[in-house]
Each structure stands twice: as C-alpha cells, then as structure tokens.
Amino acid sequence: MKIFRFTPLFLAIAAAPGFSATEELIVTGSYNPVTNEQLSSSVSVINKQELLQLSSNNVIDALRQIPSLWVEEQGGPGGVTSIALRGAEANHTLVLLDGVQLNDPTNTRGGAFDLNSINIESIERIEIIRGAQSAVYGSDALAGVIHIITQAPSKSTTQFNGTVGSDDYGSVGMSTSGKFNNLGYAFAVQSKDAGEPVPGSTAKNTEFTSRLNWQQDNHTVNFNYRYFDGERTSFPEQSGGPEFAVDRNLDRSEYTDQNAGLGWTMQVNDVWQSRVQTSWYQREETIDSPGIAPYFELPPNGSVIDFDRTNASWINTLGDKNTLWFNVGVEHKREQGTNLGYAVSRDVFPLDFSLTREINSAFINANAYVTKEWLIQASVRHDDPSNYSAEDTAQIGTRYQLNDQISLFANWGEGFKLPSFFALGHPMTGNEDLVPETVKSGDVGIEFSGSEFSSRISYFDHHYRNLIDFDAEAFQNVNRSRVETSGVESEFTWQVQSHLKLRAHASYTDIDMMSSDNHLLGRPQTTYGASAHYALNDDWQFNLNYLRVDERFAASLYTGSTVEQVLGAYDRLDASANWQMNTNVRFNVSLDNLTDENYYTDIGFPSAGQSAKLGVTITF
C-alpha cells in the first residue's frame, strides 16, 4: 500500500556531493580499483574536504545530505543510529571500514551498524554503492554498500585537533603520516565526549586507527587496524523518550570494536594480478536496560555480546582494463556470536544463545568494452553457508558514454541476507526455521560531468521477499513480508564561480508493503536539501547546509501497548566557517540547527536544539 503522497520537489534543485575535480579510483562495488567510468552502479563518493563542508563534527549529519541514504536516529548521541538505503531496512546495508565488514548479526537490530561508532576526524573518504551487491559481497548487501576509508599513508605530516561546544561537547585527537623507505604509515587517535544535547542521551569514545603500506617491485602489502572503545546512555527505544517514559532510568552500554585487515597484491605479469586478503572483526558489548514501564511488553533486560568474524579471499584479475578483464576468486568467511542475555534478571529468566556459521564462496566477474563508448559488466557468485542451501546470485550492468560529458547507466542485481544470529537463536523470539531474505533490484540513470557542472539522476526499483518480522501472536520471528520500493534520486554539483560551489540533492521513495497493513517505521518518502560553499579568499571559507525531511511513521510502547503516529516534517539549517590563521593553524566554528528547529526523531525523543562548536587544527 502507498504510505505517502508524492511531492514533486525532487524536480527542483537536486544534487549532492559525489563529484570531484580530479578522477579518483573507487574501491567499492568491484573486486579491484576502477574509475567511475568503469563502474555501472549508482555511486556517490565523498572525500575529506567535501565531508567536512557538510559537517565539521558529525558524520551522521554529513550523510544526511546524500541522496537515497536515510540516517535513522533515536534522540541524541547515545541513541542507536543506523543507515537505510532506498527505503530498505537498516540491516540491509553492508558497512565496510577499510575493507572490513562491521555488521554484527548478534545484535537486536539484525546486524545494522551503529554510525555513532565512527568519528568524522578519522575518515578520509566514503564510497556508497546502491543496489543489490550480493554477486560481489555475498550475504548482507541487499540495498547497497557503504565503505568508510580512514586516513591513508601520505606525505610526512602531523596534526593536532581539539573542539569544544555546547552541552559539554569536547573532542581532542592527533594524527601522523609519512614514509620510511618503502613503508608508508598513517596513525590517528581521537577521543570524544558528545555531551548531553538531549536529556539522558550521552556518548563517549576513544578511537585508534592505523594503516601501513609497503611496496617493492611488483609486490604491495597493506595492513590496517582499528580499536574503538565507547560507552553511552539513552532512554530505551520505544520507551517514549525524555517526554513520555514512565521509568526515568536509562539504557547503558559499554562496547569495544576491533578490526584488522592484511592484503598482499602481486603483479604477476602485464595481464595477471593476484591478491590475497584476510580480515578480522570483533565486537564486545555489555547492555543493561530498565525496560519499558509498565513492563507488559518489555521488562528489564540486558546482554553481554561477543562476536567474531574472520574472512580470507584470493582474487585474480586477468586481462586489460581498456578492453576486456575478469576477476576470479574464492572466499571463506567464519562468524561466531554469543549473547548472554536476561529478562528481569539472570536468576529469573536467562536468555543465552551461541551460534557459529561458515560460508564458502566462489565468484567470477567479467567486464568488456563492446565499443570504446559501451561497457558491459556481469558477476556471478556462489555462496555455500553452513546449515543453509547454497545461494547463487547474479548482477549485470552497462554504461554508455554518449559524449565526453553525458553517460547512461543501467543495472540489475540479486541479493540475499542470511537470518541474523539474534533472529535465529534468541530463546524467546528466535526461529531456527527462518530462511534468507532476498531482493531483486534494478536502476537506470543518466550522468553529466562537465568542468563546472555535474549531475546524476536515476530511477530504482527493488523487490524484497521473505523479510524477517516479529509475529506478536506467535511471539516469534517469521518470514512473511513482501516489500517493494521504487523512486528517484538525484545529485548535482555546480561550480558557479571560482569562489562559490553549490550542491543540492533530492530523493523520493515509494514503499509498498504487499498484503500487509503495517508501516515501515522511520523512513520518509521525500528528502531534499542544498549546500553552499563559499571561499572568500585563501584564508576564509564558509559553508551552509539545508535539509528538508518528510513525515514518517513511528511506534512506541510507553502506554503499555503499541502506539503508532506520524512524526512531522522538518527543515534544518547548519552553518560553519573556517579561518586559516597561518600555514600551521586553522580555526573552525560550526552552528548546528541554526534556526533551532523543534522536531522529533522518534515518539517522545526530541532532536538536539541549536548548538555551537569551536575547533582548532594545528599542522606540522
């Protein structure tokens, strides 16, 4: 059923960051780095400079300006924040950091990644690939892939940064990079206290990132390691938040993320490159929740989560990227998760589960220039998970260059997602008979890239089957939902003059829940916005970012039973200014929610009000 009315504002100024003046290699959505012209998928790339123009202090606010990417947020920094692409569930987006998957299938959100676990200061660039990508990545990439890339080894430099702001916000960090003979290195450490911009919502974290790169003759070795330690508080989800929660006690969580990757690439000859990659991800989390009074629906509860994932792959690239090339390889993944949970207390109702699965995969990807202007790509992948039937997925795409500035692209792909450990194993609601969720997706679009103006407009259509949902009558997770999402997304960049750059973006998503009266929560039908970057001179730069978000459905349990309502639409305006005092020192001032817009991110959870932050960066 149609759950929103169409608003034709996407035909107005519609654009977003995603185009840079220099050609960049994209490492997401393909088995080896390619240019934008060598990839048929719908792609947005945000480099460090563009990211900080969209938000100086918060990656969540920056990503709101990307078309068809909706950031689901609950209250302030202590609430869980995750990504939804093209109207899909948050756990249908695969999230990578330096090539390592961060989705945790042990959590209550079915594997959705919490964006509050990333500091914007650590990020060098973000790549977003839309559409089903299981033919490249296997399970989890139903709606697309978001790849966060941290600071890479570069010329010798050291930076210190510090920021203070409203509501006791504070952040401090340092980074250094350089090269020693054939070894390049980059290290960064960041500590952040987000304060309390919304009552009860707090978050503190410390993050360390590192990347090493060694090159000699035809060999390259890359290594990356990240450690993230955080703690947070918030009113429980669907509790009614600061406004309506009967019990004023808070959810409390302490968690640690670690991930590492090691890769060796050998250029065997002019037409053969071989690459071996391994990765590891671990998450440990302790959660204690007071539940939702009067406790009919959700009593006090908690859990201790321990999840590990290891991955190893061997990829061979054969051929010439100017005419015909193939990627052929195999992959092995192992996931192990344990959740020691309870309801009321461990003595009253322990809720423990532990699951392990392995997935063996083989794949082939073919790319061919039929003519100088016409590229065709196809991928086929076979995934054989333990305890499930094998999954075969395919993807095909094409890009046609009409002239030097205009190209057309089209894609069709299949995706699947294995049931999360939580959906399978939870002693009260788990169901070991669940089958994988699946999708068939397609999109077509046109792209224009000129010296002063760039744009991309595309239409998409996704058909989801066997979506996992909670059945209140059976009190169990079941496969039942059929959902179809379709819409239009657009992004443009216009260099008006040497000192002024304008961006805008718009997305319209229509969601049909087949044979169901339920609503998908938290997803607006229409979002749009615009950004302006003005460089007064070499020393002074100013940024202004506007965002409009449509109505969306929300649900709460604060009355003792489910209450559903529509959250109102809102407009948000953020501004920032940068002053390069001298070669070494730069100051930044940011004003978030400049007009002090009063809106809600969930029932009873108000947004943060107007806030200001002052930062300084010292470079040596």
Q: Are 260 and 225 in contact (CB under 8 A)?
A: yes
Task: Tell how far CA 276 is from the center of its chain.
Answer: 25
pLDDT in tens, 531-573: 999 999 999 999 999 999 999 999 999 888 888 899 999 999 9
Residue 7 has pLDDT above 60, yes or no: no
How many residues are listed for the chain in this entry? 620
Q: Are 407 and 447 in contact (CB under 8 A)?
A: yes
- Written as six digits, the tokens of 266 are 């050998």
Query: Which residue's entry shows tokens 């508080």?
Result: 233
CA distance 592 to 574: 5
Q: Output 385 or 17, whichever has higher pLDDT.
A: 385
Give the pLDDT of residue 22: 44
Which phi and psi (to 5°) does residue 140 adopt? 95, -25
Q: Are 422 and 430 in contact (CB under 8 A)?
A: yes
The DSSP call for residue 49 is: H
Q: Are 385 and 347 in contact (CB under 8 A)?
A: no
pLDDT in tens, 306-345: 999 999 999 999 999 999 999 999 999 999 999 999 999 8
pLDDT in tens, 200-213: 999 999 999 999 99
Q: How confident is the model at residue 2 (pLDDT cuts 50, 70, 90)?
A: very low
Percentage of the chain lying above the pLDDT 90 cut: 80
Q: How confident is the model at residue 515 (pLDDT cuts 50, 70, 90)?
A: low
Give the pLDDT of residue 491: 94
Class of domain 9-619: mainly beta
CA distance 520 to 378: 32
Q: Are 337 and 104 in contact (CB under 8 A)?
A: yes
Residue 286 has pLDDT above 50, yes or no: yes
Give the pLDDT of residue 23: 58
pLDDT in tens, 335-391: 999 999 999 988 899 999 999 999 999 999 999 999 999 999 999 999 999 989 999
CA distance 603 to 609: 16
Tell which residue, 383, 253, 309, has the closest CA to residue 105.
309
Give the pLDDT of residue 16: 37
Q: Output 376 or 82, whichever has higher pLDDT.
A: 376
Strands 272-289 and 251-269: what pairing?
antiparallel
Q: Are 409 and 401 in contact (CB under 8 A)?
A: no
Residue 5 has pLDDT above 70, yes or no: no
Q: How confident is the model at residue 516 (pLDDT cuts 50, 70, 90)?
A: low
Tell which residue, 537, 588, 462, has the closest CA to residue 165.
588
Residue 11 has pLDDT above 80, yes or no: no
CA distance 390 to 358: 12
CA distance 28 to 141: 12
Question: 3-state class of 61 per DSSP?
Answer: helix
Q: Are 163 and 615 in contact (CB under 8 A)?
A: yes
Provide the mean pLDDT of the chain.
91
Give the pLDDT of residue 117: 87
Percentage of the chain lying above the pLDDT 70 cut: 96
Extents of the domains making up the chain? 9-619
In DSSP terms, which residues pair with 92 in a beta bridge?
A: none
Query: What average pLDDT does this structure show over 204-226?
Result: 96
Query: Which residue's entry shows tokens 């961006």?
Result: 503
Q: How confident is the model at residue 10 (pLDDT cuts 50, 70, 90)?
A: very low
H helices of 296-411, in order, are: none
pLDDT in tens, 99-154: 999 999 999 888 999 888 899 999 999 999 999 999 999 999 999 999 999 999 98
Residue 9 has pLDDT above 50, yes or no: no
CA distance 586 to 582: 7
Angle in degrees, CA 365, 369, 373, rounded to 5 = 135
Give the pLDDT of residue 98: 95
